[in-house]
Structure 1
Amino acid sequence: MNLNNIYQVAIAAAYHAGEILNRYYGNLKDIHKKGAIDLVTEADVASEKAVKQIIQKHYPDHGIIAEESGTQNTQTPYEWIIDPLDGTTNYAHQIPIFSVSISFVVEKKPVVGVVFNPVAQELFCAIKGCGATYNQQSIAISQTKALSDSILVTGFPYNLREMIDPLITRFSNCLQSAQAVRRLGAASLDLCYVASGRFDGFWEQNLKPWDTAAGMLIAQEAGANITNFSDQSYHYNMSEIIATNGYIHQDLLECLAIH
């Protein structure tokens, strides 16, 4: 299988979806809840439809796992994992921090990842074993050695009201240990910002495969260390993720450990 062709299709799909998101941006007519604090808009649906059409045109036999429409054709080792709009709440409130996230996985392992912020025109990409890029320029993790000098980023799950105590404890530990903590609202971009050295570390709980499958590969290819809270190698089906530049990993794990 030619991964470069897969890579080009993923980029084309991300750009096309980005055009759709830009067109709807600030002009939404249909916003509704699919959970207590989880929004979906007509832009999510239109973006996902466009991405799926492009993939199915080129690779009709491949499986697709998508946030809005679910899973199809899972009897194949070749699957695409799609988040047509990561950061829907930001998008709905005209906060320009959101992305299209597309990953191609072989036997449940990401081998191509593309994350595109269409407002900022930021394109993060990776092919397994070939490094990571930002707008076609190579990127790498930060070299910050101490957690006390680090800028961290996190997010909160949609079911946060059911698990508020451990969330606040972990957030408090990190807030007291790091230089600063940010909360952007789009996990795919959080991972890409670790990959490009903008952030030194990221943690979050209860994410879905489409939130991390592309971003994790981009971060790994840029040199990031990615595990769960038990320091096991991360897979996109896990419920916890930590991604760091490596230097601060053990200290961040300690902050997230609830004794």
Structure 2
Amino acid sequence: MSLDAGQLRELARIAGGVLDEATPYFISEIGAKEEVVKGVGDWATAADLALERQITAALTERTGLSMHGEEFGGPDLHTGVTWVLDPIDGTANYTARIPLTGISLALLEEGRPVVGLIRLPMFGEAYQAIDGGPLERNGEAMPTLQPAGLDDVTIALGNVAPKGTHGGPTPRYPFRYRMALANAIAHQALRVRMFGSSAVELAWAASGAVGAALNFGNHAWDNAAGALLLRQAGGELRDLEGGEWSLRSRSILVGRPGVVGELADLLAALGDPASYA
């Protein structure tokens, strides 16, 4: 299947309507406690489960396309056309009633995001893009991201305390490496912020509120929608190894032209993450 621009616009419209329907429940349940423990420091609430069921059922019925969700899984993400969903991105924030949380939904075609939607319900912000179209916020086209320098922007940094610091296996990017990177960025960037939600980080990088965002993981439900938003906003997309970002990358680094290049230089100077284990 190859989707044209008209089909992508219609699928985005349908998906936006489904997320509109889910938003009141998302807002009403903030503060929900853990329901299912998925691993060390990782859990899902009853709201995660209910929202994934609701959004999956509606999209499957209205589009005839399959869903791969964070909580219940789904078909292979690298072949065919399928939705990928994180019903509550930033669950720890959501549980603590911290409003830095959102819904991330993308449509993948042969593993490449072609529709992306991020909703930040607690801020009343709805971000959307289709392949070949502009980034939109609340229905209005956003300006293209302009080049900037690292010393002029705020950087959104992913979680610096990986699961390995709590007794799990040693992660690909060890704690000492993450802290070394955070230190290097802090000495050169205007500000460093940790929002605790990939949806927030990527949406705000696409809008230009932050100069770049980087995350030490690359689950499709976390990053696919935001990566498309950045691409259509004119941003640069890489991974921490310096390659072009894709669904098969192990990490993500995105943001304004110029800023991403400076961050890539910092990463190269740090060397092999394994040497920090």
Normalised-by-shorter TM-score class: over 0.9
**Mapping 1:227-238, distance limit 5 Å:** 227-238=238-249
Structure 2 SS opposite 1:145? coil
Structure 2 SS opposite 1:49? helix
Residue 69 of structure 1 corresponds to 72
**TM, length-normalised to structure 2:** 0.87
Residue 154 of structure 1 corresponds to 157
Structure 1 alignment gaps of length 5 or more? none
In 2, the alpha carbon distance for the partners of 1:30 and 1:148 equals 39
Residue 111 of structure 1 corresponds to 114
Change in 2 beyond 3 A, CA 1:56/1:152 = same
CA contact (8 A) 1:82 1:102 kept: yes
- Give the CA deviation at 1:231: 2.5
**Mapping 1:149-188, distance limit 5 Å:** 149-156=152-159, 158-161=162-165, 162=170, 163-188=174-199
- Give the CA deviation at 1:63: 2.8
CA contact (8 A) 1:155 1:185 kept: yes
Q: Match for 2:229 among 218, 222, 225?
A: 218
Residue 35 of structure 1 corresponds to 39
Residue 27 of structure 2 corresponds to 22
CA contact (8 A) 2:79 2:111 kept: no
CA contact (8 A) 1:63 1:75 kept: no
CA contact (8 A) 2:199 2:226 kept: yes
Residue 206 of structure 1 corresponds to 217
Structure 2 alignment gaps of length 5 or more? 272-277
Residue 6 (1) aligns with residue 11 (2): yes
- Give the CA deviation at 1:251: 1.1
- Give the CA deviation at 1:73: 7.2
Change in 2 beyond 3 A, CA 1:238/1:46 = same
In 1, the alpha carbon distance for the partners of 2:215 and 2:251 equals 6
CA contact (8 A) 1:141 1:245 kept: no
Residue 241 of structure 1 corresponds to 252
In 1, the alpha carbon distance for the partners of 2:102 and 2:110 equals 25
In 2, the alpha carbon distance for the partners of 1:124 and 1:13 equals 14
Query: Could you tell me which amino acid in structure 2 is paired with residue 185 of structure 1?
Result: G
**TM, length-normalised to structure 1:** 0.93
In 2, the alpha carbon distance for the partners of 1:73 and 1:227 equals 23
In 2, the alpha carbon distance for the partners of 1:138 and 1:126 equals 9
- Give the CA deviation at 1:238: 1.3
In 2, the alpha carbon distance for the partners of 1:130 and 1:184 equals 27
CA contact (8 A) 2:145 2:233 kept: no
In 2, the alpha carbon distance for the partners of 1:20 and 1:185 equals 21
- Give the CA deviation at 1:200: 0.5
Over aligned residues, Cα RMSD in angstroms?
A: 1.9
Residue 48 of structure 1 corresponds to 52
Q: Which moved more, 1:37-46 or 1:143-152?
A: 143-152
CA contact (8 A) 1:64 1:79 kept: yes
Query: Could you tell me which amino acid in structure 2 is paired with residue 232 of structure 1?
Result: G
In 2, the alpha carbon distance for the partners of 1:256 and 1:167 equals 10
CA contact (8 A) 1:63 1:74 kept: no
Query: Could you tell me which amino acid in structure 2 is paired with residue 35 of structure 1?
Result: G
- Give the CA deviation at 1:150: 1.6
CA contact (8 A) 1:201 1:245 kept: yes
- Give the CA deviation at 1:142: 4.5
CA contact (8 A) 1:17 1:100 kept: no
Q: Match for 2:127 among 124, 128, 144?
A: 124
Residue 191 of structure 1 corresponds to 202
CA contact (8 A) 2:8 2:115 kept: yes
Residue deviations 1:88-126 (CA, integer Å, cap 9, x gap):
000000001111111011111111100001121100000
- Give the CA deviation at 1:235: 0.9
Change in 2 beyond 3 A, CA 1:140/1:205 = farther
In 2, the alpha carbon distance for the partners of 1:109 and 1:155 equals 23
- Give the CA deviation at 1:148: 1.4
Query: Could you tell me which amino acid in structure 2 is paired with residue 129 of structure 1?
Result: G
Change in 2 beyond 3 A, CA 1:238/1:222 = same
